């Protein structure tokens, strides 16, 4: 074997399989990282609600009466078994939620107006509300799901215990006194 035979060009090695394995590994790591990030979000209180909004002109009592009559009619229809989703699509004036059947998705505490907020955080699940008025108009609301954070649940428990201990003791019965 001479010097010239050793320098004969050899075919380059095919490294495409290693390239593809690297791409797949990077993709798998990225998917796992995204899953872990979305899964380990902060524990916050949130509520999933749907609603039908009927707007009215606040300075026009006739328009307000029309809106109130419509929302009461819709409530009656829902109570008789008509689909909340269909009526929300057909009648709700909320451009965001009406195409989704009134679904507002999950929202954090403090995202709604006070009357709306009070209802969604205290109402039983899947129960249709009475007519609720906010600055946006009249609402019919159903709470789909509610999650209370651990910190908020602890605060509520402390408040409950505090109010129980603050209750005045019952007055003594004069008949039982010596």
* Domain-wise residue ranges, the chain: 46-152
Local confidence pLDDT in tens for the 178 residues of the chain? 555 555 566 677 788 888 999 999 999 999 998 887 776 556 788 999 999 999 999 999 999 999 999 999 999 999 999 999 999 999 999 999 999 999 999 999 889 999 999 999 999 999 999 999 999 999 999 999 998 888 888 888 888 888 887 766 566 666 655 5
To the nearest 10°, report the CA torsion of 69, 65, 136, 142. Answer: -20
Q: What is the CATH number of domain 46-152?
A: 3.10.50.40
Residue 37: its pLDDT value, please?
73
Residue 1: its pLDDT value, please?
54
Residue 67: its pLDDT value, please?
96
Residue 27: its pLDDT value, please?
95
Residue 176: its pLDDT value, please?
57
Strand order across the beta sheet in which 137-147 lies: 103-108, 46-54, 137-147, 132-134
Residue 53: its pLDDT value, please?
97
Give dist(CA 60, CA 63) in Å, integer.
5
């Amino acid at each position: 074997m001479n010097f010239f035979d050793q320098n004969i060009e050899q075919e380059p090695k095919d490294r495409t399989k290693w390239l593809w394995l690297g791409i797949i590994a990077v993709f798998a790591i990225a998917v796992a990282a995204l899953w872990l990030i979305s899964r380990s979000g902060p524990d916050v209180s949130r509520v999933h609600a749907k609603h039908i909004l009927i707007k009215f002109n606040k300075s026009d009592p006739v328009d307000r009466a029309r809106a109130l009559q419509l929302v009461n009619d819709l409530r009656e229809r829902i109570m008789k078994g008509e689909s909340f989703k269909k009526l929300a699509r057909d009648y709700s004036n909320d451009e965001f939620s009406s195409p989704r059947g009134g679904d507002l998705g999950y929202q954090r505490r403090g995202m709604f107006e006070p009357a709306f907020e009070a209802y969604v955080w205290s109402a039983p699940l899947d129960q249709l509300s009475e007519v609720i008025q906010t600055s946006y108009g009249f609402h019919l609301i159903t709470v789909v799901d509610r999650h209370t954070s651990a910190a908020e649940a602890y605060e509520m428990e402390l408040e409950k215990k505090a109010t129980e201990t603050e209750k005045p003791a019952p007055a003594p019965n004069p008949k039982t006194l010596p």
